[in-house]
Amino acid sequence: MKTCPFFGVCGGCKFDFAAPDYREKKLREISSLPLTGDAVWTDVGTRRRADFAFADGAFGFYQHRSKNIVPVQMCPLLRPEINALLPALRALPWGGAGSCLVTVCDNGIDISIDANVPYFSSDFRAAAERLQNVIRVTWGGRTVMMRATPTVTFNGHTVEFPPNAFLQPTVPSERALRDMVVDAARSARRVADLFCGLGNFTFALNADGFDIAGTGTRRDLNTHPLTVGMLAQYDCVVMDPPRAGAYAQCKVLANSNVSRIIYVSCNPATWRRDANVLQRGGYELKTLIPVDQFVGSAHWELFSIFDRAA
């Protein structure tokens, strides 16, 4: 395949991931960053979650720069389980308009729907119950049908997967990030895993996790970051915040004595802002490696290490 057959029609990708110059073009997005190592690339066909749109009975991806919906037959980026389900999803009796997040979990497929109407029809429920390999469907947080509780596994630890929960888009990139984080924290005595989510890093590090939901202590780190006193018990902090970054927590970390900060970011712009805060506080950037886990898009994941200057 020399080009994706849907590129330029479907709006899911900014870059044609099948083109021979894909990597060169995508790297230009972060050419101003002080990278210290080669990019980690993710294979096509491994994406385990996709956010589809529906409106006026149509189901698919938005057309490029448009609210028109392209009823894609398949997407080369997605895992086979999702592509196999697309015909049945398009055939559902959709009502209203909204989004449909499809996630491949360990024990089946989870579907989470957000719509501009709070209800679903009895016909929709009946059709959802006939979906193959789907174990749960929710609509606006309400259960349409559930055969089993979806689960995901991190480093041998299986946890429940809540509707709309954060999950790295591919297993290979999830493992690559976890391996880099574990290696960087290898000499740490005690680790705090901030914005820990469901525990991709928490279990592997035997860390204390903090987040609004998921594994660990419930805490909104944007409004209530860990204090300098709380951070005193940790010699290493791992952070993997949402796209908004970790500005409030970084301002506190800049005044702490934490020896090493491992920062995983899905937004180079907020990473740069937060990195400036840490560097002004006396931390030195030691490692910055990009990970192309959002294949085809303009988005990069960044893995970085900051050490407290001696």
Catalytic (active-site) positions: 266
What is 49-152's CATH number? 2.40.50.1070
Q: Are 17 and 44 in contact (CB under 8 A)?
A: yes
Residues of the chain with CATH 2.40.50.1070: 49-152
Residue 154's pLDDT is 94
pLDDT (0 to 100) of residue 55: 94
What is the model's pLDDT at position 67?
84
CATH 3.40.50.150 segments of the chain: 168-308
Beta-strand relationship, 260-265 and 283-292? unpaired
Per the CB < 8 A criterion, the answer to whether 298 and 286 are in contact is no
Query: Whole-angstrom distance between the N-terminal and C-terminal Cα of the chain?
Result: 51
Dihedral through CA 270, CA 276, CA 277, CA 282, nearest 10? 150
For the segment(s) 168-308, the CATH number from 1.10.3720.10, 3.30.60.50, 3.40.50.150, 3.40.50.2300 is 3.40.50.150
CA distances from 134 to 79, 95, 140, 152, 306 (A): 14, 20, 17, 15, 42
Angle (nearest 5°) at CA 59 between 55 and 62: 80
CA distance 288 to 71: 39
Place of tokens 């929960």: 165
Nearest to residue 139, comparing CAs of 100, 184, 183, 104?
100
Give the pTM.
0.94
226: Cβ–Cβ under 8 A, 6 or more apart, which residues?
192, 194, 210, 219, 249, 252
Per residue of the chain (310 residues), what is the pLDDT tens digit? 567 777 888 888 889 998 999 999 999 999 999 999 999 999 999 999 999 999 998 999 988 778 889 888 889 999 999 999 999 999 999 999 999 999 999 999 999 999 999 989 999 999 999 999 999 999 999 999 999 999 999 989 999 999 999 999 999 999 999 999 999 999 999 999 999 999 999 999 999 999 998 778 999 999 999 999 999 999 999 999 999 999 999 999 999 999 999 999 999 999 999 999 999 999 999 999 999 999 999 999 999 999 998 7
What DSSP string runs through 97-126? EEEEEEEEETTEEEEEEEESSS---HHHHH
pLDDT of residue 1: 54
Residue closest to 288 by CA, chosen among 32, 95, 115: 32
